[in-house]
Structure 1
Amino acid sequence: MACNSRAVKEYLRFYSAPATFSNALSPVQAAIVLKAFEIVDSEQGSALRSALMTNILSLRAQLREAGMDYYSDPSAIVCVKMGTEGLARLVSRRLPELGLVANLVEFPAVPKGAVRILMQVMAGHSEANITKAVQLLKTARELATLEFEAVGEPAIRAVA
């Protein structure tokens, strides 16, 4: 730093935004990124992307067959429409009990009435994994619907 005052130099060193809010990648992180790009550009990467898209389309088709709808274009994150916030919370509570990991997303992250469960698909999932996940989600939704409607609330009231 070009400054005659030691106090000003120290102040700038400790409190200036570039010093406070910047982090360089560690050598290990840089090596991981380089390896990831290597895989992306390889035949293995092409095969993984193909397997991933196959799994995405399979999940979406099985969700439709099970009577569930989803948002958006095909991607590795499938956003399953859940109806009301109350129903979605009950579904979300049931999923870990049944053995499925999926994330609930509700207001303010999404508009009110557009609550969803996020399912994340990987190339390494088997067709059996996908079928089981859909069955578990369907079961959780059925159980939650019974529980929710027992208190006199309609379970489905979703925004498109």
Structure 2
Amino acid sequence: MRHREQTDATTQDRAEGVRRLPGAPAPGDAHALRGLDFASQDCLGLSTHPEIVATAADTLRRFGVRSVCAAAEAGDPGLAVALERRIADFLQMEEALLCPTGRAAVHAVIRGLVRPADHVVIDAAIRGSLRESAEDATDNLRAFRHLDPEDCRVRLRAIRARDGENGILVVTESLSSLDSGTPDLVALRALCDEYSATLLVDVAQDLGCLGEDGRGHLGLQDMLGKADLVTGSFSKSFASNGGFVAARTRAVTACLRAGEAAAQALSPIQLAVILKAFAILDAAEGRERRTRLMRNVLNLRTALRDRALIVCGEPCTCVSVEIGSGERARRVVHHLAEFGLLADLAALDETGRLRLHVTAGHSDAEIARAAACVAEALDRARADATGAARRPRLRAAA
């Protein structure tokens, strides 16, 4: 089940795990908090966890400092084998393959499996690296409307009407990095079965940090082991860079290992840190951290809506707020910098969205302060635009 939000003022105080935040200080208050970081993506705070730090130090003493190198030269090969098995079991897939980054994983699987004559059908709002890899692999690229399985069906039907032989790869994200929306993965699976297509789901945004067991929307939608291919990265929840490809059949990873995917490996320190992160995330502490994270997410979404702001998508670590596009968005970002709030901006054709990356370590005061800053920045940006419109235009002298 997905996380439900309580937005009614009479029930908010009673919502399990969510409580009304204290009043936020005005952005101009000299005693207000400064330098609020809502741009970092260490969402569970594991990068400074004592056990993670101790594991990194112990591995450093055992293997020394190693640069990214060929897999056979990466130190103890048992670490890599153990991590690949851990990922495959976590996602209920047959086998997994490690890659140096999440981008490299996406590139390896799409470029390694898609032939020029094959087709790729991709969510229109998918992040850049997935689209770029598809564009590199084939000219037969079709986009379907964001999170719209029926539009995906239209694309698949049109392809199969004229090409019944070549492969089709359907690509989506379990959680959109753009607007925090999530697709109907069950519907996409059914479409792939109907039109003999392969389903690739990228889980870079929610693996480890969402769901009671940390398996993200694959777990929440009962889709573990049901996508054909899963790609992801470790940077958001596992305190390390790195990426992976998981597949339902061993033949896929064997094919990728024979290509460029196996040319580089993670360092022993990265491998050990990610394995330790898995152990923490699977324990009671991991569940407690995810609970605290979701409480912060829900509190921030409620605080923003209490200020009449439009909050997008599903409750997740990235809280997206509509702020308008063009000059207004630039002014909002300028005023946020004045307040000391770090966030990032996603530009769209029709609007701009401010993305606030929430962590388990944010305090109630920081959540309240962030909402107040965003609201005040948007108010000032609107006032700036109104003032500019009222200024008289100067006429050139004859």
TM-score range, shorter chain: 0.7 to 0.9
- Residue 67 (1) aligns with residue 304 (2): no
The correspondence for 1:94, drawn from 324, 335, 338, is 335
Q: Corresponding residue for 1:126?
A: 363
1:109-129, Cα deviation, whole Å (9 max, x unpaired): x3x122100001001111111
Shift of 1:59: 0.4
Q: After TM superposition, list the pairs within 5 Å mapping 1:101-116 onto structure 2.
A: 101-106=342-347, 110=348, 112-116=349-353
- The one-letter code sitting in structure 2 at the alignment partner of 1:130 is I
Output the CA distance in 2 between the equivalents of 1:83 and 1:22. 44
- Residue 150 (1) aligns with residue 391 (2): no
Shift of 1:32: 1.1
- The one-letter code sitting in structure 2 at the alignment partner of 1:81 is E
Whether contact under 8 Å (1:80, 1:117) holds in the other structure is yes
Q: After TM superposition, list the pairs within 5 Å mapping 1:45-84 onto structure 2.
A: 45-84=286-325
- Taking a change above 3 Å as real, the CA distance of residues 151 and 50 of structure 1, as seen in their structure-2 partners, is same
1:70-117, Cα deviation, whole Å (9 max, x unpaired): 1101000011001232211110111121010010111xxx3x122100
The correspondence for 2:278, drawn from 37, 40, 48, is 37
User: Percent of counterpart pairs with the same letter?
Assistant: 36
Secondary structure in 2 matching 1:55: helix
Q: Corresponding residue for 2:260?
A: 18
Secondary structure in 2 matching 1:105: strand
Output the CA distance in 2 between the equivalents of 1:53 and 1:68. 20
- The one-letter code sitting in structure 2 at the alignment partner of 1:120 is H
Report how many aligned residue pairs link the two structures: 132
Whether contact under 8 Å (1:89, 1:104) holds in the other structure is no
Output the CA distance in 2 between the equivalents of 1:100 and 1:122. 15
**Is there any run of 5+ residues in structure 2 with no aligned partner, and where?**
1-258, 391-398
- The one-letter code sitting in structure 2 at the alignment partner of 1:121 is V
Secondary structure in 2 matching 1:152: helix
- The one-letter code sitting in structure 2 at the alignment partner of 1:66 is R
- The one-letter code sitting in structure 1 at the alignment partner of 2:301 is R
Q: Which has the higher helix share?
A: 1
Output the CA distance in 1 between the equivalents of 2:363 and 2:273. 26
| TM-score, with length taken from structure 2 | 0.32
Output the CA distance in 2 between the equivalents of 1:37 and 1:147. 48
Shift of 1:132: 0.5
Output the CA distance in 1 between the equivalents of 2:326 and 2:387. 16
| TM-score, with length taken from structure 1 | 0.77
Large movers: runs of 4+ above 2 Å: none
- The one-letter code sitting in structure 2 at the alignment partner of 1:45 is G
- Taking a change above 3 Å as real, the CA distance of residues 95 and 22 of structure 1, as seen in their structure-2 partners, is farther
Shift of 1:49: 0.3
Q: Which has the higher strand share?
A: 2
